[in-house]
Structure 1
Amino acid sequence: MSERVVAITGGHGALGRAVVEAALAQGLKVAVIDHASGHAAPDGVLEVGGVDLTDPAAAKAAMETVAAHFGRLDALLNIAGGFVWQAVEGGEDEWARMFALNLTTALNASRAALPHLKASAEGRIVNVGANGALKAAHGMGAYAASKSAVHRLTEALAEELKATSVTVNAVLPSIIDTAANRADMPDADPARWVAPADLAATMLFLASPGARAITGALLPVTGRV
């Protein structure tokens, strides 16, 4: 059984559940931090629910809960986020919402976790960016801009932490094969998309001691799209 402890934000979404399952299969100790509450946690998983990660104080309290429960924190996987299709003309509120859900949650969680991650011999932060943020398509302005900001956060924080044990990287998935995406795109071929389990495996590698030589990377995980 590994002693490494991973905190996963947004752990109740399709990708979050896949990462939790894969982490447990690797023998990792897992904490799920989510805005939702009342979920039954699998055996060995610490459930920290009802957390608004757009609030720095709430993020700090959540990380302190994890560290107090397990006695340490080795990796943070920032999965919490959201998506909306919205043309630039109109929809002003969606821009603020996308930045809050995608950037502010990752920023606050990372800041709150850093004191604990620096105490680990192999601290890790893994963010979820987006391949679609490299060139925004029609209706993707707010989402792509917020995910592009996650890319810049990843790079900047990686540079800041080069003198520490902590590495910071991001995965850039294309379309993830989820029930929601299948419903929204019924004519597409989901076999060409990214399976949540495959993305989870990539994230957990970046969160592992074996990825110590990688920091500041924005890794495309695009399946066959």
Structure 2
Amino acid sequence: MSVILITGGTGGLGRAVIERFLEKGHTVVATVGPGHAIDPRPNLEGYTLDLLDEAGCQRLVADTVASKGGIDAAVLLVGGFAMGSIADTDFAAVEEQFRLNFQTAYQVVRPVFEQMLRQENGGRIVLIGSRPAVMPAAGQHMVAYALSKSLLFSLSDILNAAGKDHNVVSTVVAPSTIDTPLNRKEMPDADFSKWVNPAELAEIIEFVTVGAGRILREPVLKAYHKA
């Protein structure tokens, strides 16, 4: 079975992804923010970490490799969201979304990618993009969020170019709105039937990391459901 590193283990999508991998018998190391915790379970290890701490992210990868022997897949789920048009969005707002959506991913990807280059079987990386990052008509209402998420697509392209000869593949999964309790609370008047089920996203992520989708190269998967 595979060793899966997941960031954002206590989020709405994180819980579904953890459950999916555990059901399939894989070993999961999941990060949680300070003040949070994951209940101990067989094959599941929680790791408390502020992902804005670059040295801490490097320790996360080193500790995981030391205890588990390697990292077969990394699924980077931590992020944040903010509404706002160009007129409403100052640069401080852009910087905040950059930290939440790009910096938290990049600081884990960097040591994970270097580790996967050294592994005989390479590895798989999943980044969570977003529909507004590739659809300007949607992004115009959430500028800082869309800009920060768009960087993940460029990062994935760079990882795929650098990892091509080492069997290291990065996938971007770009959902529309994910049906989580937090999103329902924030948007109570929305049509939830059009949103993306976290369990179905978890299936997609499992497919491209340890399932038959491992043969895909440079994939961008647009999981929009009915949006």
Same fold (TM over 0.5): yes
The SS at the match of 1:73 is coil
Whether the aligned pair in 2 keeps the contact of 1:18 and 1:197 (CA below 8 Å) is yes
Contact 2:122 2:166 in 1 (8 A): no
Q: Measure the CA separation in 1 of the matches of 2:221 and 2:38.
A: 32
Q: Distance in 2 between matches of 1:7 and 1:37?
A: 20
- Corresponding residue number in structure 2 for 1:159: 161
CA distance in 2 between partners of 1:120 and 1:42 (Å): 30
CA distance in 1, matches of 2:72, 2:34: 23
Any residues of structure 2 matched to 1:71-220 within 5 Å, and which?
71-89=69-87, 90-118=89-117, 119-136=119-136, 137=138, 138-208=140-210, 210-220=212-222
Q: Which amino acid aligns with 2:111?
A: A
Task: Look up the match of 1:221.
Answer: 223
1:72 touches 1:120 (CA, 8 Å); kept in 2?
Answer: no
- Kindly provide the amino acid, as one letter, of the partner of residue 114 in structure 2: P
Aligned counterparts of 1:111 and 1:76: Cα–Cα separation in 2 = 11
Identity of aligned residues (%): 33
53-62 vs 6-15, which deviates more?
Answer: 53-62
AA of the residue aligned to 1:174: S
CA RMSD of aligned residues (A): 1.6
Asked if the contact 1:30/1:46 (under 8 Å) is kept, the reply is yes
Q: What letter matches 1:214 in structure 2?
A: L
Q: Which runs of 5+ in 1 are unaligned?
A: none
Structure number having the greater helix percentage: 2
My pick for the range that moved more, 14-23 or 27-36, is 27-36
SS at structure 2 position matched to 1:220: strand
Which residue identity is paired with 2:77?
Answer: I
Verify the 8 A CA contact 1:59 1:109 in the aligned structure 2: yes
The letter of the residue matching 2:204 is: T
Separation in structure 2 between the aligned mates of residue 35 and residue 120 of structure 1, nearest angstrom = 32
| 8 Å CA contact 1:56, 1:112 repeated in 2 | no
Q: SS of the counterpart of 2:203?
A: helix
Report the residue type matching 1:155 in the other structure: D
Deviates more, 1:147-156 or 1:89-98: 89-98
Q: Distance in 2 between matches of 1:96 and 1:111?
A: 20
Q: Distance in 1 between matches of 2:39 and 2:165?
A: 36
Q: How far, CA to CA, are the matches of 1:40 and 1:143 in structure 2?
A: 28
CA distance in 2, matches of 1:160, 1:40: 34
Q: CA deviation at 1:122?
A: 4.5
Deviation string 1:57-104 (CA, Å, 9 cap, x unpaired) is 111001111112212211100101111112322443211011111111
- 1:16-48 Cα distance to aligned partner (Å, 9 max, x none): 011001110011100001323441333121111
State TM-score, norm by structure 1.
0.92
Deviations 1:125-147 (A, max 9, x none): 01000012112334311000011
Q: 1:178 and 1:78 mapped to 2: Cα distance? A: 17
- Between the aligned partners of 1:63 and 1:31, the Cα distance in structure 2 is 10
Measured after TM superposition, the shift of residue 175 of structure 1 is: 0.7
**Partner SS state of residue 28, structure 2:** strand
Tell me the number of residue pairs that the alignment of Structure 1 and Structure 2 aligns: 222
* Matched position secondary structure for 1:169: strand
Counterpart of 1:45 in structure 2 is 44
TM-score of the pair, normalised by structure 2: 0.92
> 1:86·1:94 contact (CA, 8 Å) conserved in 2?
no
Q: Is the 8 A contact 2:13 2:198 kept in 1?
A: yes
Take 2:45 and 2:55, find their aligned partners in 1: how far apart are those partners? 19
